[in-house]
């Protein structure tokens, strides 16, 4: 039986040593332990297949090292990014051992196998690399095209260089699969990356004098002057409702460009009704006293944590009470919300302590739950609108529309909650009723492919949006008119001394053509906007900046107005976050940091954050 047993194919490449525990490779004379050799049937089959393909591998290696196969070497080099000299040197140095390296070297050295697998991609990777060069949208094709463009720009070459025989021969030798674009492509092609919404800090300055409007305006003017930013280039200024800051911005940028902070307006919408309601103020005050008592008492805090652990929660899952900050209304919401989550545990703790403040009654707790349901949409709205790395300004009108719908659908049971709801609705109408007439907000919402005009309730506001679009398109077109007028003035200077009897006719013709062009442009803008509004809205989670990049060729007249208004932020919260960033920079170890240097560090921090 042992004689009839089929011999493992591995012994075609190895010979046994003096003992049965070692074996020597017949090609590279490397000693291995027999336990490291693979002798099971699946590996034998794989080894046989390697043995069958050994000769083609050797022949292909010889073909590569052959001087007559330079085209094949060039093709492999351009597609696979393999150094052909390494391949040729391997073939020359290993000679007879190449068969061993192509079949069983993987069993001799795992490191060599990994290196070879990196150098020899599979068929899918091979075709993927080829497509990356041949396709105009391929990664390598774009990199090569950008490199040629940089060559033209940096070395002051003419665009005609890409059509020269020498340059084409060079590119054919280096990258034979790459098709060189024409010179018109380099002249007119847009080789820009996708648009991306970013934010930056231009400066933070100290105020050494009394904070008057004139002094603040002078310091703000210094910053925009240092950055060569004219007031005409500023699309909008978002600020809180402080009278001094509002006056500075109105004087510098104009009334229409100033947008009040939406988050601050939401705060006033909630603060005023809660302050005017005696029942709400009284119950929230009782909650605040309970939270203060437990946070001041170490024993009460430990008992609160212990009772949560006894209920089966892990240490990382236990919660603490939150004390509100008077300047932030949403902190009051978080305090009430956390109190209601732990209300049963808090009641048990207070009952055992004689010095504890009085606990809320069941009716007061029920009223408190309705308050949370009533103001929770405002908290979600504030979170949604306070970002700076995504588009927020176009969400203001839709979110207010959704907020009104949620308030209408909410039906409280307590009389105090019903009256509070009515007061909040009055504040919403008073503060948000004219949002659709704000040009920046309305235009950004209408040009956002996620919303368009579906949340507009006022027909007059819709008509204004169309006028805004037409005006934006006209302003874009008037930028080209000075070029035409300058050409005409040059022609007039040449014929100034000559008398032309048809000069009046030419002037009438020019005016007529100019009026027709403006009419055609207006009709084009209206039809474009109508087509844009008629198309379906995109998903709410989509990025409007990326969507407009894809729609740029379809709606060219609307693209620039959209890119101008969509990046506006809806709140001044991003600028308020600078206080936290500045506090992280100015520590006890850096308390002598100059204000000018702090401004530079904050600027660099904002730049690095966008990378």
Its domain, for residue 147, covers 129-188
* Same domain, yes or no: 299 and 424: yes
Sequence-distant contacts of 399-405: CB under 8 A, at least 24 apart:
400/428, 400/432, 400/435, 401/455, 401/457, 402/377, 403/377, 403/378, 403/428, 404/428
Residue with tokens 């210094």: 222
Which pLDDT does position 357 carry in this prediction?
93
* Same domain, yes or no: 326 and 404: yes
Asked if pLDDT for residue 604 goes beyond 60, the answer is yes
Which pLDDT does position 43 carry in this prediction?
43
Which pLDDT does position 376 carry in this prediction?
94
For the chain, the average pLDDT equals 77
Asked if pLDDT for residue 479 goes beyond 60, the answer is no
What's the CA gap between 142 and 159, in Å, rounded? 17
Question: Would you call 138 helix, strand, or coil by DSSP?
Answer: coil
485: in domain: no
Q: Could you say which of 99, 120, 141 is where a domain stops?
A: 120
* Mean pLDDT of the region 392-417: 93
- pLDDT band at 566, cuts 50/70/90? very high
467: in domain: no
Which pLDDT does position 427 carry in this prediction?
94
Asked if pLDDT for residue 265 goes beyond 60, the answer is yes
pLDDT in tens, 268-303: 999 999 999 999 999 999 999 999 999 999 999 999
412: in domain: yes
Sequence-distant contacts of 48-54: CB under 8 A, at least 24 apart:
48/9, 50/102, 50/103, 50/104, 51/9, 51/12, 51/103, 54/99, 54/102, 54/103
What's the CA gap between 156 and 214, in Å, rounded? 49
Which pLDDT does position 488 carry in this prediction?
47
pLDDT in tens, 300-355: 999 999 999 998 989 889 999 999 988 788 899 999 999 999 999 999 999 888 88
578: in domain: no
Asked if pLDDT for residue 502 goes beyond 80, the answer is no
- pLDDT greater at residue 78 or residue 124: 124
* Same domain, yes or no: 48 and 141: no
- pLDDT band at 515, cuts 50/70/90? low
Asked if pLDDT for residue 108 goes beyond 90, the answer is no
Question: Would you call 78 helix, strand, or coil by DSSP?
Answer: helix
* Same domain, yes or no: 90 and 142: no
Q: Are 264 and 240 in contact (CB under 8 A)?
A: yes
What's the CA gap between 152 and 161, in Å, rounded? 8
DSSP string covering 508-535: HHHHHHHHHHHHHHHHHHHHHHHHHHHS
What is the number of domains present in the chain? 3
Which pLDDT does position 420 carry in this prediction?
94
Give Dmax over CA atoms of the chain in angstroms.
Answer: 120
Backbone angles phi, psi at 204, to 5 degrees: -130, 120
What's the CA gap between 573 and 199, in Å, rounded? 13
* Same domain, yes or no: 176 and 97: no
Which pLDDT does position 594 carry in this prediction?
75
Which pairing describes strands 14-16 and 22-25: parallel, antiparallel, or unpaired? Answer: antiparallel
* Same domain, yes or no: 321 and 393: yes
Sequence-distant contacts of 11-16: CB under 8 A, at least 24 apart:
12/51, 13/100, 13/103, 13/104, 14/104
328: in domain: yes
pLDDT in tens, 15-33: 887 777 788 888 777 887 7
What's the CA gap between 260 and 266, in Å, rounded? 11
Kindly list the distances between the CA atom of residue 122 and the CA atoms of 51, 110, 566, in Å, as whole numbers in the listed order.
Answer: 19, 18, 45
29: in domain: yes
Which pLDDT does position 40 carry in this prediction?
45
Residues in the chain: 611
* Same domain, yes or no: 91 and 158: no
Asked if pLDDT for residue 458 goes beyond 70, the answer is yes
- pLDDT band at 379, cuts 50/70/90? very high
Which pLDDT does position 516 carry in this prediction?
56
170: in domain: yes
Which range among 210-224, 298-312, 577-591 shows the weakest confidence by mean pLDDT? 577-591
* Same domain, yes or no: 157 and 286: no
Which range among 11-15, 76-80, 316-320, 455-459 shows the weakest confidence by mean pLDDT? 76-80
* Same domain, yes or no: 99 and 176: no
pLDDT in tens, 518-539: 555 556 656 788 888 888 999 9
108: in domain: yes
Sequence-distant contacts of 472-477: CB under 8 A, at least 24 apart:
472/443, 472/560, 472/561, 472/564, 473/521, 473/522, 473/525, 473/557, 473/561, 474/518, 474/521, 474/522, 476/557, 476/560, 477/518, 477/521
* Same domain, yes or no: 293 and 146: no
Q: Which range in 75-84, 480-489, 576-585 is most confidently predicted, on average pLDDT?
A: 576-585
Q: Global pTM?
A: 0.63
What's the CA gap between 263 and 395, in Å, rounded? 12
Which range among 89-103, 269-283, 362-376, 477-491 shows the weakest confidence by mean pLDDT? 89-103
Q: Could you say which of 120, 146, 177 is where a domain stops?
A: 120
* Same domain, yes or no: 284 and 389: yes
Q: Could you say which of 101, 120, 139 is where a domain stops?
A: 120
Backbone angles phi, psi at 23, to 5 degrees: -145, 155
Which range among 70-84, 168-182, 339-353 shows the weakest confidence by mean pLDDT? 70-84
Asked if pLDDT for residue 483 goes beyond 60, the answer is no
What's the CA gap between 431 and 336, in Å, rounded? 25
Asked if pLDDT for residue 397 goes beyond 50, the answer is yes
Q: Measured between alpha carbons, how far apart are the two ends of the chain, in Å?
A: 71
- pLDDT greater at residue 14 or residue 496: 14
* Same domain, yes or no: 38 and 172: no
């Amino acid at each position: 039986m042992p004689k009839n047993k089929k011999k493992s194919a591995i012994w075609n490449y190895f010979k046994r040593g003096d003992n049965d525990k070692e074996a020597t490779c017949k090609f590279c004379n490397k000693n291995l332990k027999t336990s490291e050799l693979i002798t099971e049937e699946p590996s034998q089959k794989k080894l046989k297949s390697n043995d069958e393909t050994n000769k083609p591998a050797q022949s292909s290696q010889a073909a590569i090292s052959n001087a007559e196969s330079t085209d094949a070497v060039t093709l492999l080099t351009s597609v696979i990014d393999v150094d052909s000299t390494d391949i040729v040197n391997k073939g020359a140095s290993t000679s007879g051992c190449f068969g061993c390296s192509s079949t069983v070297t993987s069993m001799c050295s795992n490191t060599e196998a990994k290196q070879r697998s990196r150098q020899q991609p599979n068929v899918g990777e091979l075709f993927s690399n080829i497509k990356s060069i041949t396709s105009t949208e391929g990664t390598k094709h774009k990199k090569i095209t950008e490199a040629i463009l940089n060559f033209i720009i940096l070395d002051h070459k003419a665009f005609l260089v890409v059509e020269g025989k020498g340059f084409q021969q060079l590119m054919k030798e280096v990258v034979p699969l790459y098709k060189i674009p024409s010179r018109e492509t380099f002249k007119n092609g847009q080789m820009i990356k996708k648009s991306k919404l970013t934010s930056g800090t231009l400066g933070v300055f100290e105020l050494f004098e009394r904070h008057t409007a004139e002094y603040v305006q002078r310091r703000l003017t210094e910053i925009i002057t240092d950055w060569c930013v004219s007031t005409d280039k500023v699309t909008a200024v978002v600020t809180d409702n402080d009278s001094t800051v509002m006056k500075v911005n109105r004087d510098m940028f104009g009334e229409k460009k100033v947008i009040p902070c939406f988050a601050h307006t939401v705060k006033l919408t909630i603060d005023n009704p809660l302050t005017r309601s005696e029942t709400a103020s009284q119950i929230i005050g009782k909650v605040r006293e309970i939270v203060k008592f437990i946070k001041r008492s170490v024993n009460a805090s430990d008992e609160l944590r212990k009772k949560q652990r006894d209920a089966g929660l892990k240490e990382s899952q236990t919660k603490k009470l939150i004390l509100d900050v008077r300047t932030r209304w949403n902190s009051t919401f978080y305090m009430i919300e956390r109190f209601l989550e732990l209300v049963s545990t808090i009641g048990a703790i207070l009952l055992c302590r004689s010095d504890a403040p009085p606990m809320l009654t069941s009716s007061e707790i029920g009223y408190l739950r309705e308050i949370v349901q009533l103001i929770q949409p405002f908290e979600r709205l504030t979170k949604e609108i306070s970002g700076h790395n995504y588009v927020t300004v176009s969400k203001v009108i839709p979110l207010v529309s959704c907020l009104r719908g949620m308030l209408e659908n909410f039906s409280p049971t307590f009389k105090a909650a019903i009256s509070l709801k009515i007061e909040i609705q009055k504040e919403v109408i008073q503060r948000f009723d004219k949002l659709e007439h704000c040009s920046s907000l309305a235009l950004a919402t209408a040009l956002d492919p996620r919303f368009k005009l579906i949340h507009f309730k006022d027909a007059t506001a819709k008509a204004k949006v169309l006028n805004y679009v037409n005006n934006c398109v006209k302003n874009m077109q008037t930028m080209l008119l000075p070029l035409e007028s300058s050409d005409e003035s040059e022609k007039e200077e040449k014929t100034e001394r000559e008398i032309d009897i048809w000069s009046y006719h030419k002037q009438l013709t020019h005016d007529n053509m100019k009026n027709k062009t403006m009419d055609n442009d207006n009709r084009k803008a209206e039809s474009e906007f109508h087509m844009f509004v008629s198309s379906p809205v995109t998903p709410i989670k989509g990025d409007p900046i990326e969507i407009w990049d894809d729609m740029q060729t379809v709606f060219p007249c609307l693209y620039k107005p959209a890119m101008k208004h969509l990046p506006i932020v809806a709140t001044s919260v991003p600028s308020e976050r600078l206080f936290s960033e500045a506090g992280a920079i100015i520590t006890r170890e850096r308390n002598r940091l100059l204000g000018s240097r702090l401004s530079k560090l904050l600027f660099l921090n904002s730049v690095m954050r966008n990378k």
